[in-house]
């Protein structure tokens, strides 16, 4: 979890506190479903360009 902690994505809880998360995984069964999700992502991204890092941001 080093990478997640370095990127400040680890939720810090106070002693005695709790948090609840819901996570849903969905399998894509064919290329049509993959294409539909790609289109949905493209719509959300709009004109925003994705920045790819050649090297990892943090070491694990």
Q: Per the domain annotation, does 29 fall within a domain? A: yes
Q: Per the domain annotation, does 35 fall within a domain? A: yes
* Residues of the domain holding 36: 3-45
| Model confidence pLDDT, tens digit, residues 1-52 | 578 888 888 888 999 999 998 999 999 999 999 999 999 999 999 999 888 8
DSSP 3-state assignment of 9?
A: coil
Please give the span between the terminal C-alpha atoms of the chain, in angstroms, as a whole number.
Answer: 8
Q: Per the domain annotation, does 56 fall within a domain? A: no
The total number of structural domains in the chain stands at: 1
What is the structure's pLDDT at 1? 56
Q: Per the domain annotation, does 18 fall within a domain? A: yes
- The position carrying tokens 């890092």 is 53
What is the structure's pLDDT at 51? 86
Q: Per the domain annotation, does 57 fall within a domain? A: no
Q: Per the domain annotation, does 16 fall within a domain? A: yes
d(CA 44, CA 50) in angstroms, rounded, equals 12
Q: Per the domain annotation, does 17 fall within a domain? A: yes
Q: Per the domain annotation, does 21 fall within a domain? A: yes
């Amino acid at each position: 979890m080093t990478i997640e902690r370095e990127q400040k994505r680890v939720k810090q809880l106070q002693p005695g506190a709790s948090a609840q998360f819901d996570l849903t995984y969905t399998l894509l069964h064919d290329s049509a479903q993959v294409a539909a999700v790609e289109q949905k992502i493209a719509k959300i991204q709009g004109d925003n360009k994705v920045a790819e890092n050649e090297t990892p941001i943090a070491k694990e």
